[in-house]
Amino acid sequence: MTKICGDAENFATSALRGFADIHRDIVRLVRGGVIRSRPATRGKVSLVVGGGSGHFPAFNGYVGKGFADASVAGDVFASPSTQAILRIAREAHLGGGVILGYGNYAGDVLNFSIAAERLRAEGIDTRMIATTDDIASAPEDEAPRRRGTAGDLPVFKIIGAAAEEGMTLDQVEAIGKHANARTRTFGVAFDGCTLPGEKEKLFHVPDGRMAIGLGVHGEPGIDETDVLSAEALASLLCDRLLREAPAGGGSRITAVLNGLGATKYEELFVLWEAIIPHLENAGYTVIAPLAGEYITSLDMAGCSLTIVWLDEELERLWRAPVESAAFRRDLVSGSFTGGTPSPADIPSAYMKSLTEAGRQGGRCVATVMHKLSLALSAAEHELGQIDALAGDGDHGQGMARGAGAAARAALAAVDAGAGPASVLAAAADAWADRAGGTSGALWGAGLFAFSTAFDDAAAPDAQSIATGLRRAMEKIMALGKARPGDKTLMDALHPLVETFEDNLRKGEPIARSWQDAAIVSMEAAEATKDLLPRLGRARTHGERSKGHPDAGAISLALCARVVGEELAALSLR
Amino acid sequence: MTKICGDAENFATSALRGFADIHRDIVRLVRGGVIRSRPATRGKVSLVVGGGSGHFPAFNGYVGKGFADASVAGDVFASPSTQAILRIAREAHLGGGVILGYGNYAGDVLNFSIAAERLRAEGIDTRMIATTDDIASAPEDEAPRRRGTAGDLPVFKIIGAAAEEGMTLDQVEAIGKHANARTRTFGVAFDGCTLPGEKEKLFHVPDGRMAIGLGVHGEPGIDETDVLSAEALASLLCDRLLREAPAGGGSRITAVLNGLGATKYEELFVLWEAIIPHLENAGYTVIAPLAGEYITSLDMAGCSLTIVWLDEELERLWRAPVESAAFRRDLVSGSFTGGTPSPADIPSAYMKSLTEAGRQGGRCVATVMHKLSLALSAAEHELGQIDALAGDGDHGQGMARGAGAAARAALAAVDAGAGPASVLAAAADAWADRAGGTSGALWGAGLFAFSTAFDDAAAPDAQSIATGLRRAMEKIMALGKARPGDKTLMDALHPLVETFEDNLRKGEPIARSWQDAAIVSMEAAEATKDLLPRLGRARTHGERSKGHPDAGAISLALCARVVGEELAALSLR
């Protein structure tokens, strides 16, 4: 919904003035449009583009070096007047003649045609190029009737580059017509737009539906379906466009994936990822493609794909440097037909243990991680339900994912011959990386702190386990800022640490010391049902958590129980 | 509404891959983020920025020369993992130490802090800068608790420029903290955003309302009001921000007006135009401001204003060249503290008539235009009503505006001593410029064609009027493609021309010839009620127009009647 508006009648004029102020390094304001602030060489062909407002960056954002010399902005969705075109074209004229560039809409055709005739009568050689790229707007055999849409960007950019190179008016006109003849756009819309000052949308697409080929001012489309997945949408757009490949089009193309306003960059990038294989499988090489907002329609939701079939000259002109408000590029170096892939992620080199005791210790750590993974996976649903009573219900999933990744990383480290410190460090990193969220980060940091108490050359013993456990608790407390009583995992961790250390001091064997501590830990975890949270979700979820234990405390106590069982089975010193 | 989505769980990863493909001239993809494709000098301080996805161009779009060296992208609205930060910071490290830049959100603070500690343990000197610019998120005396939002752009840009200049890690860190301490953001939201794959918005703002200070993930704001006008919104944003000017902030600032996704460029430009006087009246000089989308929140509607109080060093770093996907600038030349205004529009030099007869003829034309203006103004409402029966009801307004402007332009030309051809040409241009729309363009072109039959040195006579009238009809027929019978103004114009010429041929005096023709014209205009339109609005308005005359034909006949009265009063030859 278009929300920012002063006097609706002056929306386009205010927007023009604000634009010209922000981009004063590139353009200067004239009545009804903008002209480059740093004029080009005398004698150069001038490109003057224009159309209705409401489509930024079309057309004011196209003014700049290597692109248009001037733009003429009409009212919202209305053609600029003949007089505005005349006035601005006269001022932009550098002695080399004028190309008027606009989309093929009745009002624009009328006003630009009259202006062209008047300019010619005044002795300014003037040519017109109306873009006709929208293949949904008329059948192929009536191509001259088609509307101009996102093809404006590449067609005008190519014309601007040709003019910048110093081509004559005849040459620039010919290139422009050639580029337009090799440019095709196909688009979909998810919803209409609101005119400034209006409460209702100018036109609608039903919720959950997608209008195929709908025009940017609501001109009738050709079909309507349910909203498609990114994959299916990519297929629809590519199939329709590639079916209309121009004769002799060749195998080198560029593409412009355009968002209409409320369809955002990341959605366009998701769609682009799905488009790439369609173009490549059809045998095309894609040169310097774009995805972004190049011609919008206020807050309309939707997107279009434009393909330009290049030849050597069009490719050179498409890649030429450009410096406008909407589009800057300086492809001076490197090849842009294929990205340089990053080197594959190299797993950190594990510290290889030189001792059998160390390797044996590493295997023990990996076994514990494996058992934790099994237990958390089994408890995933239950932990999720406890969490959902007070939070967003993803705790069980995060713990299961994290422990699974940790177990796999531990095994890989064992295979590489790592000792207990390296195995636990690898497991810790994998846990945090895969579990995500705050609890994933805390578990990863805690386990990593635990690992620093181990020695890769020796099996873990009671002393190193106690030191590791305390380091883990201190790390989590420092990072999470939680104290016992705050209804977090600390309520289960703190009694585990204290009881385990007490039991060891009393001379209890390690497995018994831990198992006793794990029981205390689980009791404390269950007792969190009588607490209210102090941190994090406290403000929003405080009330909802009443009477339910904290999921993080429960899962910590559960892990403590599993570790106790393993310690008993392993009979460590 | 976020509509383009494949597997919602992989939205962020797909978006990252699509982004890296499109911007392969600037970045290369690594797991969980991107790194500059053309590495900077060894020994330079590396800036690694990051946060949740869903905020493009934050943060992947910030990578490039003069800005960040790498970015780490978490899941949608979720912090990246400690491991991803570690992995990417290690790869981006050039030997000069690392700055981790992120917004002050709990999850980000946790993961970046753990990563920083780990990097330092590995021997990579690492510093953290968390932005805290959002003044709505905590009171001034608790500034370190504030969230980071659109201040990310200027703060990270300044850090990136400092690193590019070759400053040491200590210096870059100090500059970054200094920039953050002098950066303030205040924003409003019109509506929430939808997570990929979800049908409902994550949070809402009631229709017609505006949430003040609402966070980009829906964090609570501080107030709610009805949507304000651009002027009142500008006042709200500036007042709150300027009240918090830092001590010793000086009078030179920059500003970033940021759109959250569905609030579009032209709305931002309208708002910017309203903001300028507030900043200037407060005594500030605004250096190289920006208006656009620099940190979004999927399809959220809203905007924020960020102000950075500059000093000499911050200004140099803010203006330094930058080449990222989201933000490129190369302010190599010119002053950007004030735009170069365009020379005032110079009215076309009127052809000054050298003869008294010519000047007298010019006055006659101006008088006719004046009378047309009065008549059309009086008929504005009635013409609007006729038009509303079949069209959009703006015909009367357009005609009245056009004729009014034409009358004023004619008078100005007369004052300059112009003859009839120049006076009518000036009137024609003004008419089309002010009336707008198709009928404005046709009237302007028709009157201009009419003027070509006149001679500036002589008063109009029967012959030149007849020639002019026919030229006007031919021009309108050629441009409008309408023939008599199509239910357009041509149905009134064609009988006017034919009857007038017939009457002259029969030897009737000019005034009588025209007045008779005007009567025939009005009869024909009224008879259009029995016609159906063939052109233009035919498809949509054909049925609605049944039984009603065409407003364009009626207004033409009305003008013909007025001209006839004047011709009688003027008693031309």
- Strand pairing of B252-259 and A64-65? unpaired
**Which residues in chain B have Cβ-Cβ distances shorter than 8 Å to A263?**
3-4, 299
Chain mean position to CA A506: 57
Q: CB atoms < 10 A from the CB of A332, how many? A: 8
Give contacts of B 181-240 with A, CB under 8 A. 190-191, 196, 199, 208, 210, 227, 229-231, 233
pLDDT value of position A261: 92
How close, in Å, is residue B118 to chain A by CA atoms?
A: 10
Nearest CA in chain A to B6: A230
**Which residues in chain B have Cβ-Cβ distances shorter than 8 Å to A19?**
265-266, 269, 291
- Strand pairing of A46-53 and A70-76? parallel
* Residue numbers in chain A where pLDDT is lower than 70: 1, 331-351, 390-392, 535-545, 571-573
Nearest CA in chain B to A275: B18
How close, in Å, is residue B295 to chain A by CA atoms?
A: 11
Q: Structure tokens of B454?
A: 């006149």
How close, in Å, is residue A271 to chain B by CA atoms?
A: 7
B3·A263 Cβ contact <8 A: yes
Catalytic residue among A217, A278, A370, A494: A217
Which 3 state secondary structure label does DSSP give A457? coil
Give contacts of A 252-291 with B, CB under 8 A. 261-274, 276, 288-291
Q: How confident is the model over B410-442, as pLDDT tens digits?
A: 988 888 889 999 999 999 999 988 887 788 899
Q: Does B321 touch chain A (CB under 8 A)?
A: no
**Which residues in chain A have Cβ-Cβ distances shorter than 8 Å to B261?**
262, 264
Nearest CA in chain B to A86: B429
**CA pair distance A222, A220, nearest whole angstrom:** 7
Cis upstream peptide for A59 (omega within 30°):
yes
Residue ranges with strand state E in B293-335: 301-309, 322-324, 328-329
**Which residues in chain B have Cβ-Cβ distances shorter than 8 Å to A329?**
25
Q: Structure tokens of A527?
A: 């007792």
Nearest CA in chain B to A10: B270
The phi and psi torsions of B540 (rounded to 5 degrees) equal: -90, -30
Residue ranges with strand state E in A325-395: 328-329
Residue given tokens 């510290």 in the structure block: A351
Interface test with A, best of B22, B200, B481 (most A CBs within 10 A): B22
Q: Are A426 and A366 in contact (CB under 8 A)?
A: no
How close, in Å, is residue B114 to chain A by CA atoms?
A: 7
How close, in Å, is residue A221 to chain B by CA atoms?
A: 15
pLDDT value of position A341: 35
Q: Structure tokens of B303?
A: 């905007």
Nearest CA in chain A to B299: A262
Give the one of A3, A233, A432 whose C-beta lies nearest to B4's C-beta. A233
**Which residues in chain A have Cβ-Cβ distances shorter than 8 Å to B31?**
342, 345
Nearest CA in chain A to B30: A342
B230·A14 Cβ contact <8 A: yes
Catalytic residue among B93, B217, B278, B494: B217
Interface test with A, best of B265, B279, B295, B394 (most A CBs within 10 A): B265
Q: How confident is the model over A119-177, as pLDDT tens digits?
A: 999 999 999 999 999 999 999 999 999 999 999 999 999 999 999 999 999 999 999 99
B178 in catalytic set: no
**CA pair distance A426, A397, nearest whole angstrom:** 20
Which 3 state secondary structure label does DSSP give B129? strand
How close, in Å, is residue A254 to chain B by CA atoms?
A: 11
pLDDT value of position A280: 94
Question: What is chain B's pLDDT, residue by residue, as a tens digit (573 residues)?
Answer: 678 887 778 899 999 999 999 999 899 999 999 999 987 889 999 999 999 999 999 999 999 999 999 999 999 999 999 999 999 999 999 999 999 999 999 899 999 999 999 999 999 999 999 999 999 999 999 999 999 999 999 999 999 999 999 999 999 999 999 999 999 999 999 999 988 888 888 888 998 899 999 888 888 888 999 999 999 999 999 999 999 999 999 999 999 999 999 999 999 999 999 999 999 999 999 999 999 999 999 989 999 999 999 999 999 999 999 999 988 887 644 333 333 333 333 344 556 777 888 988 999 999 999 999 989 988 988 888 888 776 667 788 889 989 999 998 998 888 888 999 999 999 999 998 888 778 889 999 999 999 999 999 899 999 999 999 999 999 999 988 888 998 999 999 999 999 999 999 999 999 999 999 999 999 999 999 888 877 654 444 455 667 889 999 999 999 999 999 988 887 665
**CA pair distance B313, B348, nearest whole angstrom:** 48
Q: Structure tokens of A474?
A: 């201190």
Chain mean position to CA B54: 25
Give contacts of B 48-107 with A, CB under 8 A. 53-54, 56-57, 61, 74-75, 78-79, 81-84, 86-87, 106-107
Cis upstream peptide for B59 (omega within 30°):
yes
**Which residues in chain A have Cβ-Cβ distances shorter than 8 Å to B19?**
265-266, 269, 291
Planar angle of CA B377, B383, B386, nearest 5 degrees: 170
How close, in Å, is residue B116 to chain A by CA atoms?
A: 12
Give contacts of A 323-382 with B, CB under 8 A. 323, 328-331, 333-334, 336, 338-342, 345
H or E element in which residue B45 lies: none
DSSP secondary structure, A119-179, as one string: HHHTT--EEEEEE--BTTSS-GGGGGGPPP-TTHHHHHHHHHHHHHTT--HHHHHHHHHHH
Q: Does A17 touch chain B (CB under 8 A)?
A: yes
Interface test with B, best of A16, A270, A408, A486 (most B CBs within 10 A): A270
**Which residues in chain B have Cβ-Cβ distances shorter than 8 Å to A107?**
437-438, 441
**Which residues in chain A have Cβ-Cβ distances shorter than 8 Å to B191?**
1
**CA pair distance B315, A106, nearest whole angstrom:** 48
B82·A429 Cβ contact <8 A: yes
Closest CA to B60 of B52, B51, B71: B71
Give the one of A22, A342, A345 whose C-beta lies nearest to B269's C-beta. A22
How close, in Å, is residue B323 to chain A by CA atoms?
A: 9
pLDDT value of position A391: 67
The phi and psi torsions of A432 (rounded to 5 degrees) equal: -65, -35
In chain B, the domains with their CATH numbers are 8-329 (3.40.50.10440), 356-570 (1.25.40.340)
CA gyration radius, chain B? 33
